[in-house]
Amino acid sequence: MPIRMAQYGTRHGHAAGKLHALLSNDEVEFAGIYEPDADRRANLKEYDRAYSGQRWYGDV
Question: pLDDT digit string (tens) for 30-47?
Answer: 999 999 999 999 999 999
- What's the domain range around 24? 3-57
What is the pTM assigned to this prediction? 0.84
The pLDDT assigned to 3 comes to 98
Structurally, the chain folds into a number of domains equal to 1
Element (H, E) at 7: strand 3-8
Which of 12, 8, 10 is CA-nearest to residue 51? 10
Please state, in angstroms and rounded to a whole number, the distance separating the CA atoms of residues 53 and 60.
20
* pLDDT (mean) for 8-32: 96
pLDDT class of 59 with cuts at 50, 70, 90:
low
Question: Residue 14 carries which side chain, given as an amino acid letter?
Answer: H
- CA dihedral for 14, 58, 46, 4, sign (positive or negative): positive
Is the model's pLDDT at 55 over the cut of 60? yes
